[in-house]
Structure 1
Amino acid sequence: MSLVKRPRTAESSALTTAPSSATAQSEVVQLHGHEDAVLAVEFSSTGTRIASCSADKSICLWSASDHSNYGLLKGHKGAVLDVKWTRDENSIISASSDLTVATWDAYTGQRIRKHLGHEDMVNCLDVVRRGPQIFVSGSDDGTIGIWDPRQKEAVSYFETEYPVLAVAVDSMGSTVYSSGVDPKIHAWDSRNTSSPLYSLTGHGDGLVTSIKVSPDDQQLASNGTDNTVRTWDIRSFTTNESRKLKILDGSIAGVEQSLLRLAWSSDGKRLAAGSSDRTAVIWDVFTRNIIHKLPGHLGSVNDVAFSPTDDNVFVSASSDRSLILGPLR
């Protein structure tokens, strides 16, 4: 379960330690290292490192500054469907079709813990950004797990009627959001697993494949197979009737089985989503206008991320087995 150093090639190089700083991106680069579709990608909290996961059962670690593929984490027995950094950057959390969640040491590559409890593939994760050190997971078994990374078993579960495709949690861990085969988005009090606080509808009969809480905790963004990205007012005093905010058009869900995901910029002014037409789409949230439609991939774009320290640095992950990293021009 150790970090595997990639051989130095024209496409990737190996580092014995992770980089300690990042420089401004001056070029767009395509990163190769996975052997199957890349399903999720995330910057570390300082923007210096990137983790990506793949249907090839692995997690790749990348330097955001020199683009090196400095490590490969192996241990899952199925596709790795989602990956997250802890906020201190010391650990990486992964979700897999092998029914498990794993916590990894981000420096040694050792798997610290295998988290057991889900009874079907684990599709998605989210990590509390400022509150207690917990993370949440969603599974095809219809449950949402609340986890302390120091424990093998979940602290608690929310029971739903359908497979869970996406989860999100606010910055303090007080409210958890879920979506899935049921086209509704549900909001849950993390301390009360009995029933949702409220539910949001708007994506028609389609699936909701991704949800993300805005950096200021005031909005939720959702991506659906109805080919829309939607924003919702999730402030506590808002009535359910007035939670719908904006509809953003321009991304295409397609027919692939990958969960197309979205991301907020750190200032909350832009949203990005992957699209099955091989592009990444970026909107101005206020005007709803598309400001970038980024080409370059040869397959569906499954996930996207803005650097948390520079919203003009962007990465996309694709079914073509690659990442594209660089500045937004």
Structure 2
Amino acid sequence: MSKRPGTPPGVSTSLTKRAREDSPAGPQQQLIAISSGNDDKQKGLIRTVKRTSSLEAPIVSLAGAHGGEILSCRFDPTGQNIAACSTDRCVSLWRTYPPTTNYGFLTNVHKTAITDLQWSLTSSQLYTVGADGLLIMTDLTTGTRSRKIRAHRGVINSLDRTIAGAAGVELLATGGDDGFLKIWEESDEGKKAPVATYDFGCPVTSVCWSADGTHVFVGALDNEIHIFDLRKGELWKESLGGHTDTPTSLSLSPNGQFLLSPSLSSQTIIHDVRPFAPNPTRIHRVLTGVSAGFENALLRGAWSKDDGGRRVAVGGSDRTVTIWDVESGRILYKLPGHKGTVMAVDFHPKEPIVLTGSKDYTMLLGEIEPGIGI
């Protein structure tokens, strides 16, 4: 084995054996030499690390692109690409699998911080919203802006999209500090007016479409989660309660039956949004163990997708990501690695991979067990 320049005499470097290139595709076992010194007592200390994904390493750092806090990051629907937005007004694009590189960087997309983003479900567009009140659509095939809408008066906190109707029209929902929920049609290039608008009278912190695209769940500063009926253009009388402080984000389970809502009280609630929920309070689980901190940050949670939504994850001010088992409410993982508040979490659509974005300007990709964790 060759020695690196500057290696002291009698001391050899560590060795990592990779899986053979002709081995079958899929997760591998990596053999890692913990010590390979000349001391006979230290030789041959080998540990087998079982790989559970196709990442190039169990943990991959995505750093160096942004000069500001990362506020949102998401996998595209295929899981092949990642997009992240930041307070530096830029969007970075990354490849998930080797070589995991930053292949695109969109500069000055907004005039101020970019607060949220979503990949289009029907085209090659990326949707972003910002503190400048703008909703911007960017064509990723050319890297140019395809549409700009002055959607709100002030900060837009949340963005979600869905496909509605037999025609497959893509609808966008936005919510902002001006207290409005607004619905937009992606293909309606000739108009800049929303399809629907509702004034909640207090800042809207989060929006999330129902599975059938007929309702929008809306988290607001009044600690409630409201349900807007798009067909009737009005709110349901029933809202989802249980929070003692503002919900910071909303995320629908893969089967469309449950809604995840972290909050500024450090309490995370899973609501039962089925038409005939057995519990009249509609509270399915109350999860604890994550710290929201004192920054009033809009922490974004997520559901696992490779296992049909058996797990949920939320980042915290303690610089870790907490992952729970949904049915038992048990904490499966407390994942460290960041040096600042973890603002955003997303799960890969096909593999047990979690993506995290932080105020430390970086993202991490980490693989977890496909079944129950630790």
**Residue 96 of structure 2 corresponds to which residue in structure 1?**
64
Cα distance in structure 1, aligned partners of 2:286 and 2:163 = 26
**Residue 258 of structure 1 corresponds to which residue in structure 2?**
297
Secondary structure of 2:248's counterpart equals strand
Cα distance in structure 2, aligned partners of 1:241 and 1:220 = 15
1:53 and 2:90 correspond: no
Q: Deviations over 1:120-176 (max 9, x none)?
A: 211101111575311111111101111111233321112101100100002321110
**Contact 1:271/1:283 (8 A) holds in 2:** yes
Whichever residue aligns with residue 179 of structure 1, its letter is: G
Higher RCO by CA contacts (8 Å cutoff, separation 6 or greater): 1
Query: Which of 310, 317, 320 is the aligned partner of 2:360?
Result: 320
1:89 deviates by 5.3
**Contact 1:130/1:171 (8 A) holds in 2:** no
**Contact 1:25/1:313 (8 A) holds in 2:** no
**Residue 160 of structure 2 corresponds to which residue in structure 1?**
126
**Contact 1:189/1:197 (8 A) holds in 2:** no
1:297 and 2:297 correspond: no
Whichever residue aligns with residue 106 of structure 2, its letter is: L
**Contact 1:116/1:153 (8 A) holds in 2:** no
1:235 deviates by 1.1
Alignment of 1:184-203 (within 5 A): 184-203=224-243
Secondary structure of 1:81's counterpart equals strand
Whichever residue aligns with residue 159 of structure 1, its letter is: D
Cα distance in structure 2, aligned partners of 1:216 and 1:234 = 11
Cα distance in structure 2, aligned partners of 1:138 and 1:239 = 30
Cα distance in structure 2, aligned partners of 1:246 and 1:27 = 30
Query: Which of 266, 272, 282 is the aligned partner of 1:227?
Result: 266
**Residue 223 of structure 2 corresponds to which residue in structure 1?**
183
Query: Which of 138, 143, 147 is the aligned partner of 2:184?
Result: 147
1:248 and 2:287 correspond: yes
Please give the TM-score of this superposition, normalised by the length of structure 1: 0.89
Cα distance in structure 2, aligned partners of 1:118 and 1:295 = 36
**Residue 110 of structure 1 corresponds to which residue in structure 2?**
144
1:309 deviates by 1.3
Cα distance in structure 1, aligned partners of 2:275 and 2:149 = 32
Q: Deviations over 1:35-69 (max 9, x none)?
A: 00000011000000001100111111111112211
Whichever residue aligns with residue 213 of structure 1, its letter is: L
Secondary structure of 1:281's counterpart equals strand
**Residue 164 of structure 1 corresponds to which residue in structure 2?**
204
Which consecutive unaligned segments of at least 5 residues does structure 2 have? 1-52, 370-374
**Contact 1:85/1:93 (8 A) holds in 2:** yes
**Residue 315 of structure 2 corresponds to which residue in structure 1?**
274
Moved over 6 A (4+): none
**Contact 1:25/1:327 (8 A) holds in 2:** no
Secondary structure of 2:280's counterpart equals helix
Cα distance in structure 1, aligned partners of 2:79 and 2:211 = 18
Alpha-carbon spacing, 1:136–1:207, altered in 2? closer, same or farther (3 Å): same
Secondary structure of 2:250's counterpart equals strand
Q: Deviations over 1:221-241 (max 9, x none)?
A: 110111111111111223782
**Contact 2:271/2:284 (8 A) holds in 1:** yes
**Residue 60 of structure 2 corresponds to which residue in structure 1?**
29
Whichever residue aligns with residue 187 of structure 2, its letter is: R
1:25 deviates by 4.8
**Residue 248 of structure 2 corresponds to which residue in structure 1?**
209
Corresponding pairs, count: 306
1:95 and 2:129 correspond: yes
Which consecutive unaligned segments of at least 5 residues does structure 1 have? 1-21
Cα distance in structure 2, aligned partners of 1:210 and 1:142 = 15
1:81 deviates by 0.1
Superposed CA RMSD in Å reads 1.7
1:73 and 2:114 correspond: no
1:321 deviates by 0.3
